[in-house]
């Protein structure tokens, strides 16, 4: 299994053998023996490269997860008394991490000082190597245990200096200013603005223009320079709104199911650390009503507030 995992990781028998400090021929025998024992090819061996077969990809996911569990168990039983530590790998969307990770994870580490946090912020969704993840997506049915943290309802945010230019009419205001788009994986670049215009019955507006950023945080940085209208969830930028650095000139938002969801492997619920972090994070979010006219608010609860 170690031989198979190493070859899959490096895409090379030579590199895998060097990593495991065994000969390439011995490594090949291990992989061939594994293929023969299960009756399936795990690799397509080309002239210059090798690739995992479908069966190989399925096995790799299970093997990687199994080795992680073994490593964690070994760390637990080998830790010295009074020095017990566990590692928790967390994937967060970039804008979520930028705006919320510091207060959240600082609070968590005060409550659980023996847990070592390893945080990554990959664009486009979580990597395969994580224990828990927050993802920006629509509701999905998959193998993960999924909990909604909050629904995203993007609204127009802009620099205060732009308010008053053009007209009080929302269509005229949009047409008079540059549009700032936030790229969402597997959607068209102008998707959110197009849906916003459609849902709010706004006509005579061209949305296929302007500048596109990978994250909402970059979009707001651009807006803070005095340029453009960003269509983002005000919850993430509560501080900028409250201190007047950006404003929401219109009481109009857009919703189509996107939100921030907490995902954890179903098997992870058997792990007290992962299950505990899931419960802890969910308890830190309190959904306030988004009634018409009420500013959406996200409340981060400190440890003293309880679960």
Q: Check residue 294 and give its pLDDT.
A: 38
Q: Which residues of the chain have pLDDT under 50?
A: 287-307
- Dihedral pair phi/psi, residue 292, rounded to 5°: -60, 130
Alpha-carbon gap, residue 77 to 20, rounded angstroms: 24
Q: Check residue 288 and give its pLDDT.
A: 38
Q: Check residue 76 and give its pLDDT.
A: 60
Look up residue 146 and give its two tokens.
Answer: 């999924």
Q: Check residue 36 and give its pLDDT.
A: 87
Q: Check residue 303 and give its pLDDT.
A: 33
- CA distances to 176, 190, 224, 226, 250 from 245, rounded to whole Å, are 20, 25, 7, 10, 16
Q: Check residue 159 and give its pLDDT.
A: 94
* Number of residues that this document lists for the chain: 307
Look up residue 14 and give its two tokens.
Answer: 């030579």
pLDDT digits (tens, 9 = 90+) for 185-244: 878 889 999 999 999 999 999 999 999 999 999 999 999 999 999 999 998 999 999 999
Q: Check residue 224 and give its pLDDT.
A: 95
């Amino acid at each position: 299994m170690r031989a198979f995992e190493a070859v899959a990781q490096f895409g090379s028998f030579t590199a895998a053998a060097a990593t495991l400090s065994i000969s390439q021929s011995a490594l090949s025998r291990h992989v061939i023996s594994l293929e023969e024992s299960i009756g399936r090819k795990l690799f397509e061996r080309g002239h210059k490269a090798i690739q995992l077969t479908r069966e190989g990809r399925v096995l790799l996911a299970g093997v990687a997860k199994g080795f992680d569990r073994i490593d964690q168990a070994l760390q637990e039983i080998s830790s010295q008394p009074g020095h017990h530590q566990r590692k928790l790998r967390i994937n967060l969307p970039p804008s979520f991490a930028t705006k919320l990770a510091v207060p959240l994870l600082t609070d968590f580490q005060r409550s659980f000082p023996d847990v070592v946090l390893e945080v990554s912020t990959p664009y486009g969704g979580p990597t395969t190597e994580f224990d828990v993840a927050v993802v920006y997506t629509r509701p999905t049915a998959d193998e993960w245990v999924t909990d909604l943290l909050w629904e995203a309802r993007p609204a127009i945010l802009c620099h205060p200096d732009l308010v008053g230019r053009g007209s009080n009419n929302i269509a005229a205001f949009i047409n008079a200013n540059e549009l700032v788009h936030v790229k969402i994986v597997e959607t068209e670049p102008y998707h959110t603005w197009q849906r916003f215009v459609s849902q709010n019955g706004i006509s005579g507006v061209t949305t296929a223009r302007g500048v596109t950023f990978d994250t909402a945080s970059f979009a707001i940085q651009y807006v803070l320079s005095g340029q453009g209208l960003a269509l983002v969830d005000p919850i993430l930028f509560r501080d900028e709104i409250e201190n007047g650095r950006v404003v929401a000139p219109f009481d109009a938002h857009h919703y189509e199911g996107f939100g921030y969801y907490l995902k954890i492997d179903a098997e992870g619920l058997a792990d007290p650390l992962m299950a505990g972090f899931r419960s802890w994070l969910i308890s830190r979010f309190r959904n306030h009503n988004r009634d018409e006219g009420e500013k959406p608010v996200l409340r981060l609860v400190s440890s003293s507030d309880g679960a």
